[in-house]
Every structure is written in structure tokens, then in C-alpha cells.
Amino acid sequence: GENVEQHPSTLSVQEGDSAVIKCTYSDSASNYFPWYKQELGKGPQLIIDIRSNVGEKKDQRIAVTLNKTAKHFSLHITETQPEDSAVYFCAARAPWGSARQLTFGSGTQLTVLP
Amino acid sequence: GAGVSQSPSNKVTEKGKDVELRCDPISGHTALYWYRQSLGQGLEFLIYFQGNSAPDKSGLPSDRFSAERTGGSVSTLTIQRTQQEDSAVYLCASSLLDRGGTGELFFGEGSRLTVL
């Protein structure tokens, strides 16, 4: 089955700086890669996703890049703000007809220092 | 509109007792998932329901765990003879699946289980 590795497990940045979280996946058939943000005491919430037919996607201060050859993808947050502090999870899913559940990484605790 | 609702939000039980955790998905969502989140860990897949298809139970860690989904809506996760290692937050999510087999998961706030 799919295996997703996520690094780093914790990340502290100064407000205004950028944050980068990296993930690798094992199943070359995976074609959908979402990122979820989990605030304290809440369930994870989708913030951005990318499909395997594109290499980069942006939404305001967040962007995700995908390298299918290397089987890794990254989340980039620019101009970080205190409200970006949360746990971030990457995930991967194999195509329709295979296992349909998302396989999540182990999470990154991001702390934005004021 | 209501999101995914889980109950109880917190459950403390004694080792060996059975527990039931309930999930009310978003109305109309055909897919329902259960994940387990241990302290400081990622999200561990447990079970997946999609419409009337047989559930994917491949993530259930032992035969003490079972789940059902009645009428294609509410789901109950049952843990029999609880052990201390079952202590975790149990998250339920629901989604609509598009033609590509993907769809945003909407998570509930979880049920925190503590086994003493």
C-alpha cells in the first residue's frame, strides 16, 4: 500500500517568513495530493490540493509543488501569520479503482512566532 | 448547514469495557471514513464506506474493532474489550466523490477516547 513520509515534524518560523513542508510517497500510481490543516481541538480541514497532471498550484499565500518523477510534493506558505500555527498533514490517494482512502503523513506542527 | 457531527466528544472508560462512537455525516455525502489519531501521530485509516458497496475494512487494527453505517447515513464505530493502546482521537469524515474518485474530506471534531 501507499506510504507517505512527511518532514519536518516540527517547524518554527518568525512571522512574515516562509515555511516549507515536504512529503514523499511510495505508490507511483497515486494521483491526488491534498494538504489539510488541523487547529487545536478541531478536525483537519482541506487547504489546498493538487492532481498529478499539474506541477504547481497557488492560492494566495499557499502553494503546492509536485515532482512525480521523484515522488515528492511540498507545501509552501509565504508571509506567515500567527493564525497559520497548526498541524499540517499531507496525503496521497491512488486512482479510482484502487484503495480509495487517503494515506496521510505524520503531520508537521508549525509555530509562527510573533 | 451542519458539518460532520461526532459523539461523544470525550469518553473515558475502563479497560475491558466496550465503547460506541457515533458519526453523523454531512447530508448527501456518499462516502464516510473513520481515522484514528494517536497523540502526536498522523491519521491512521480504519474503515471506509461508499454508498451500498461493501466497506473497506483493511485498516481495522484487530477484530475488536467494527463499524456499521445504517441507511447510508449515520455510522457507529464499536471497540470491544478496550485496551489502553486504544486511547486516541477517533475522527470521522465524509465526502462526495467526483468522477476521478477524489473529493474533499470534511472531518468532524473527533471523539477523544481514554482507556484507563
Instruction: Specify the pLDDT at position A102.
Output: 83
C-alpha A107: how far from its chain's center? 9
- Given B48, B108, B109, which is nearest A100 (Cβ)? B48
Whose grid coordinates read 477523544?
A: B112
pLDDT of A15 over the 70 cut: yes
The reported pLDDT for the residue numbered B52 is 81
**Residue of B35, B43, B92, B95 best to disrupt the A interface, most CBs of A under 10 A:** B43
For the segment A59-106, what is each residue's pLDDT rounded down to a tens digit?
A: 999 999 999 999 999 999 999 999 999 999 999 987 654 446 788 999
Band (B18; pLDDT cuts 50, 70, 90): very high
A102–B contact, CB cutoff 8 A: yes
Cell triple for A101? 482512502
What is the total residue count of chain A? 114
> Does A36 score more than 80 pLDDT?
yes
Distance, in Å, from the CA atom of B75 to the CA atom of B67, rounded to the nearest integer, reads 7
Q: Which residues pair with B6 in a beta bridge?
A: B23
Query: Residue B99 has what pLDDT?
Result: 55
The pLDDT of B3-11, averaged and rounded, is: 96
A49 within 8 A of A34, measured Cβ to Cβ? yes
pLDDT by residue (tens digit) across B62-114?
Answer: 999 999 998 879 999 999 999 999 999 999 999 887 655 567 899 999 999 99
d(CA A36, CA A26): 19
Distance CA A30, CA A50 (A): 11
A49 to chain B, any CB pair closer than 8 A? The answer is: yes
The answer to whether B2 contacts chain A (CB < 8 Å) is no
Task: Tell me, letter by letter, the H, E, C secondary structure of chain A.
Answer: CCCEEEECCEEEEECCCCEEEEEEECCCCCCEEEEEEECCCCCCEEEEEEECCCCEEEECCEEEEEECCCCEEEEEECCCCHHHCEEEEEEEECCECECCCCEECCCEEEEEEC
Cell reading at B2: 451542519
- Residue B93 burial (CB count, 10 A): 27
